[in-house]
Amino acid sequence: MAISGGQKPAQRPARAQWLDSGNSITQQFMAIGGRADIVSLAGGLPAAELYPVEAIARASERALARWGSVALEYGSVEGLPALRAAIAERISASAGRRFGPENVLLTTGAMQGLDLLGKALIDPGDLIVNQFPTYLGALDAWRPRQPRYERLDWSGEGPGFEAGLRQAKFVYAVPNYSNPTGVLVSQARRAALLDKVLEAGTWLVEDDPYLPLQLDGAAGPSILALHGERHPTGAYDGPVIYLGTLSKSLVPGLRVGWVVAEAGMIATLALAKQSTDISSSMFTQAVALELIESGFEAEHIPRIVAAYRERRDALCAAAAQHLSEWFSWEVPPGGMFVWMRAKSAEIDTNALYACALEEKVAFVPSSVFDPDGRLTDAMRVNFTRSSPEVITEGVRRLERAVQRYLAS
Ligand code: PMP
């Protein structure tokens, strides 16, 4: 019997269209981060040499002794109950009101929270009002849902702002040390945005991964806390959907994050999560619980903050020496990034990026943080991943990259 002898194979179906309108930028930057010849100031990664490997090994042993096979099972979609309760405690302590486990969904990193929001809330054409420039991971997560975007105007005075909010499925903001700009949004602006969101009757997604990385001074209350202060009792029924993670205070590899919101929203997101991964890893949740309950996380944060402050200062000092002719920036009071804006329209950071790779240094061009890709006058430079010496070398290479670019 001949099997399709000589016949041309039928064309297999193409992949979904959104993949072609999207990009693989995050993957590219991860790959560049793994190249020994390149100084990568591109990634958003913590300092790997500060990862508490020993402490996590001990916490893993304790977790297995405590939970046995429970830690190795599928778990409930909402997460390990004891960790949900611990996160509810943590949020209650900072938010001036009580949150219970029913207000917490544990996720596979905060990234999954963003993905679930897309899955559960966005229909094609829906409007999202987003802090601009916007975290690339959020744009990536929501791309398959085909939303429209409007820029969040923190002053609340921009044309059409209130109308935009009334139509929005949700507002997306990173008020603490934003990715990519490192900006800390003032309390007055947070309160004003909360008022507008309440008036408009929409949701506010407050993404807060950088909270532990307060390098100068305190971040101040979250928008969730501002709302909690006004409504201190009863079941939480506010508009804030708050995202947190252990990726910055401990390690990204645990992939433990959380969403805190009113119980109905948690149930909606849990429904979306079920078909994504059944449950997040019970094992890493049990390890995370040990690291939190033992007080290790709280002890560890000051160590990384001290190292990151030194690295940020090294980056800004080197940039003042080598880049200030062409770029300006504000020293970020926390987080992981310095946002450098070109002083002259002559510099397009997409084009500069190619020269930077030739000089064996990488940054992230601003265009990837713009849903329309039109923002080409800035770059995001990371200071947490590398030592002060390597950062300084990276900045010297950036100087050569700018010279090469301007000469071309
Ligand atoms: N939101 C923002 C603004 C981030 O910068 C990141 C991490 N780069 C995340 C969410 C995702 O964090 P996680 O590792 O918890 O998935």
Ligand 1 pocket check for 46: Cβ under 6 Å: no
Does 18 score more than 90 pLDDT?
no
Average pLDDT for residues 125-148, to the nearest whole number? 95
How far is ligand 1, taken at its centre, from the CA of residue 210, in Å?
8
98-118 residue pLDDT tens: 999 999 999 999 999 999 999
pLDDT at 4: 60
Ligand 1 pocket check for 256: Cβ under 6 Å: no
C-alpha dihedral (182, 188, 190, 195), degrees to nearest 10: -160
How far is ligand 1, taken at its centre, from the CA of residue 9, in Å?
43
- The lowest-confidence range among 45-49, 200-204, 248-252, 386-390 is 45-49
Spatial CB neighbours of 209, under 8 Å, sequence gap ≥ 6: 110, 174, 179, 243, 244, 245, 247, 248
| CA–CA distance, 221 with 33 (Å, rounded to integer) | 34
Mutate to test the pocket of ligand 1, among 135, 213, 250, 285 (most ligand atoms within 8 A of CB): 135
| CA–CA distance, 83 with 24 (Å, rounded to integer) | 33
pLDDT at 162: 77
pLDDT at 406: 95
DSSP 96-123: TS---GGGEEEESHHHHHHHHHHHHHPP
pLDDT at 118: 98
Residue with tokens 């609340």: 156
Q: Place 226 in a pLDDT band, splitting at 50, 70 and 90.
A: very high
pLDDT at 31: 79
Does 1 score more than 70 pLDDT?
no
Q: Which atom of ligand 1 lies nearest, measured to the CA of 336?
A: 5
**Helix boundaries (H) for 143-281:** 161-167, 187-200, 223-230, 263-277
Ligand 1 pocket check for 180: Cβ under 6 Å: no
pLDDT at 92: 95
Nearest to 176 by CA among 165, 159, 190, 164: 190
How far is ligand 1, taken at its centre, from the CA of residue 110, in Å?
6
Ligand 1 pocket check for 179: Cβ under 6 Å: yes
Mutate to test the pocket of ligand 1, among 179, 183, 382 (most ligand atoms within 8 A of CB): 179
Average pLDDT for residues 354-374, to the nearest whole number? 95
Ligand 1 pocket check for 238: Cβ under 6 Å: no
Spatial CB neighbours of 87, under 8 Å, sequence gap ≥ 6: 104, 106, 244, 258, 260
Ligand 1 pocket check for 247: Cβ under 6 Å: yes
Does 10 score more than 90 pLDDT?
no
- Whole-model pTM over 0.80: yes
Ligand 1 pocket check for 137: Cβ under 6 Å: yes
| CA–CA distance, 113 with 272 (Å, rounded to integer) | 10
How far is ligand 1, taken at its centre, from the CA of residue 5, in Å?
51
Does 29 score more than 80 pLDDT?
no
Average pLDDT for residues 327-344, to the nearest whole number? 98
Q: Place 5 in a pLDDT band, splitting at 50, 70 and 90.
A: low
Ligand 1 pocket check for 252: Cβ under 6 Å: yes
Ligand 1 pocket check for 44: Cβ under 6 Å: yes
- Our CA angle for 179, 185, 188, nearest 5°, is 160
To 10 degrees, what angle do helices 81-95 and 223-230 make?
Answer: 70
55-105 residue pLDDT tens: 999 999 999 999 999 999 999 999 999 999 999 999 999 988 999 999 999
List residues bridging with 338 in a β-sheet.
381
Answer with the residue of higher pLDDT: 230 or 222: 222
List residues bridging with 372 in a β-sheet.
none
Q: Place 362 in a pLDDT band, splitting at 50, 70 and 90.
A: very high
174-224 residue pLDDT tens: 999 999 999 999 999 999 999 999 999 999 999 999 999 999 999 999 999
Q: Place 3 in a pLDDT band, splitting at 50, 70 and 90.
A: low
281-315 residue pLDDT tens: 999 999 999 999 999 999 999 999 999 999 999 99
34-49 residue pLDDT tens: 788 999 999 888 999 9
Spatial CB neighbours of 160, under 8 Å, sequence gap ≥ 6: 150
Q: Place 23 in a pLDDT band, splitting at 50, 70 and 90.
A: low
Ligand 1 pocket check for 367: Cβ under 6 Å: no
Ligand 1 pocket check for 257: Cβ under 6 Å: yes
Ligand 1 pocket check for 245: Cβ under 6 Å: yes
Q: How many helices (H) and strands (E) does the chain have?
A: 14, 13
pLDDT at 13: 86
Does 246 score more than 80 pLDDT?
yes
How far is ligand 1, taken at its centre, from the CA of residue 69, in Å?
30
Ligand 1 pocket check for 109: Cβ under 6 Å: yes
Ligand 1 pocket check for 176: Cβ under 6 Å: no
150-181 residue pLDDT tens: 999 887 777 667 778 999 999 999 999 999 99
